[in-house]
Structure 1
Amino acid sequence: MERQISKLKRDDGNVESAMVLIPLLILFLIGIELIAATNLRNGDAAIAQGEASRRAISGEIFSQDEVIELYSPDKFAHIRVLITHRRTTVPQLVPGLIALMGGSPSTDVKGAAIMEPVN
Structure 2
Amino acid sequence: MSTVVPFPGSEAADDTPADDGYDGPAELIDGENTVAVTVTLRGHFDPISGRYSWYGRVAASPEVTALLDGGARKVRLRTPHAEVETALSDVDPWGRPRVEGFGATPFAVLDTLPDTDADAR
Indicate the structure with greater strand content: 2
Looking at both structures, which has the greater relative contact order when contacts are Cα pairs under 8 Å and sequence separation is at least 6? 1
Indicate the structure with greater helix content: 1
In our comparison, the structure showing a higher alpha carbon Rg is 1
Q: Same fold (TM over 0.5)?
A: no
Q: TM-score range by the shorter chain?
A: under 0.3
| TM-score, with structure 2 as normaliser | 0.27
| TM-score, with structure 1 as normaliser | 0.28
